Structure 1
């Protein structure tokens, strides 16, 4: 019997072979918050009938069902592959590095059609019994990654879902020995693509990927459920960098509106040989939108510069992930 509070909750995910069709979750994630929930559209018949003061309960119908929400979690050294694949779109097979147990996943930006997940949320009653909420056809609509001084690397995934199924059996959760990435492992590099140099004074970085999709594909013959969302706008990549004003590199880039490549990475313990646990965001071209440094008092000047990620004409944005995961 689980604890009758959020302490007994669980979140498990798995890749779907067919959009909206249940597949047993295979990964069990530690998470901070999950607010996935069902949304139903109802219609009430209100025909006139002599002497009737209220609409009949029996003539209320559910015309559509869908679900949505978000999941916030710490980015860890294991178990992130399925979420990253659903976000970025490329079908990824981990590649062994050298002869040891290190495996590289390269999640390059691509169309995410066909990349949907089952997300099973276990929510405890106060009695300790855990209710099952299995969300089918989960598409990642956006993801924001953020890390600041003294903090963990945290990600928030926005989810669109086809339906919530409460008839499935809750999969027993088991957790591997995962460790979070954190500020002490963080570095930010900019410059010419593939020759970026580390920058000083960085205090906080955030990057957001948005995957606009047509999420209202409700058609006749689908029992009130949607078909898989389709990309209906260009991907949007934005971010911000908070820093002490130690040099004018970013200030000059803001003034000139010149492009620079950005690499934001977290390098953890050694796995084997020359391979380390790694989470790395690669944006081949960014341009700074605002804001130049301003003086607001006696303290060290701390500009926060926002940027937009763009296509450099050759290289796609990517997320690289090195772990001991043999499969996603």
Structure 2
């Protein structure tokens, strides 16, 4: 293969770590659209006075802290998303075969993310075509946002905090299976009583953001300027938006009453086997609408955008279901 000296030659590989911050060679390769993952360093410069010295001395600058920060953006595809979903949601998932078919269901229920981290290996091309290695260890997802609107693909954007960057690893050879993105033509949105939600008309765009707050400032002595694994330090925050045409008062009434409803946002793709189709589904057992009552701002169709917060209904946890041909994450 001829390497290309631009973003066309870039790659991202990921793998689950057994121990936070310990390198594991890439097992999955993500088709991404944009990334900003990079080493962030903190330095201190001595300001000691020395007779006649007009410039700070290079030898008296020290590196006091290192970490990794950034984001990873991608289209959500019909294969290969399991590791990312597991890191966001927390549950350790084993895909379950559906009957005797090639379809396997992953159910990512909201749980603690303690002990969950990734090694992310970036391949960044020089203009010569040589691809340089940037291996990021101890990567934890601190938030994930999914979005899809009219004429769009389903996308995911993930904020990531990491422990360190290593440029001495061997760059893995990327390999990709034939993947297809989920898209608006496959999208459905349902609301109502949990377990019996019904299709909601007029929805043009949906976004759901899941935030996993963590203490990412665990820098201690004896750690060689590196952090220890972040610890969850706040409740999960789930928010989202529903952009719509004003075809019914269902959402408007919920906003007025501040009532709760279960929300199911799903994408149903081609049949894998039997009755099992490629699926990406987010279920939020209880949401409440914060803003967005309809207003008239011209001659056009009324298009309210409702903002919502996801909450716990006391029984059922939010979950992401992913039905694919992936036998493992």
Structures share a fold, TM > 0.5? yes
Matched, 1:73 2:74: yes
1:239-278 superposed matches below 5 A: 239-278=240-279
What CA deviation, in whole Å up to 9, does each residue of 1:43-77 have, x standing for no partner?
A: 11222222222221111110110010001000000
- Equivalent residue for 2:101? 100
1:111, 1:134 → 2: CA distance? Answer: 25
Aligned residue for 2:32, secondary structure, equals: coil
1:46, 1:238 → 2: CA distance? Answer: 47
- Equivalent residue for 1:162? 163
Aligned residue for 1:7, secondary structure, equals: helix
- Equivalent residue for 2:226? 225
2:182, 2:50 → 1: CA distance? Answer: 65
2:11, 2:49 → 1: CA distance? Answer: 48
Aligned residue for 1:251, secondary structure, equals: helix
- Equivalent residue for 1:87? 88
Unaligned runs of 5+ in 1: none
- Runs of 4+ aligned structure 1 residues displaced above 2 Å come to none
Matched, 1:57 2:20: no
1:288-299 superposed matches below 5 A: 288-299=289-300
Unaligned runs of 5+ in 2: none
Aligned residue for 2:142, secondary structure, equals: strand
What CA deviation, in whole Å up to 9, does each residue of 1:247-302 have, x standing for no partner?
A: 00000000000000000000000011111100000000000001101111111111
Greater shift, 185-194 or 290-299, is seen at 290-299
When the two structures are aligned, how many residues end up with a matched partner?
A: 328
1:243, 1:235 → 2: CA distance? Answer: 26
CA drift at 1:312: 0.2
1:284, 1:2 → 2: CA distance? Answer: 47
Aligned residue for 2:127, secondary structure, equals: coil
1:135, 1:119 → 2: CA distance? Answer: 5
1:303, 1:45 → 2: CA distance? Answer: 57
2:92, 2:207 → 1: CA distance? Answer: 25
Aligned residue for 1:62, secondary structure, equals: strand
RMSD (CA atoms) = 0.6
Aligned residue for 1:64, secondary structure, equals: strand
Aligned residue for 1:252, secondary structure, equals: helix
Aligned residue for 1:184, secondary structure, equals: helix
What CA deviation, in whole Å up to 9, does each residue of 1:219-266 have, x standing for no partner?
A: 000000000000000100000001111100000000000000000000
1:77-226 superposed matches below 5 A: 77-226=78-227
Aligned residue for 1:123, secondary structure, equals: strand
1:189, 1:98 → 2: CA distance? Answer: 27
- Equivalent residue for 1:279? 280
1:135, 1:294 → 2: CA distance? Answer: 47
Greater shift, 87-96 or 41-50, is seen at 41-50
- Equivalent residue for 2:27? 26
- Equivalent residue for 1:36? 37
1:257, 1:4 → 2: CA distance? Answer: 54
1:39, 1:139 → 2: CA distance? Answer: 15
Aligned residue for 1:308, secondary structure, equals: strand
Aligned residue for 1:254, secondary structure, equals: helix
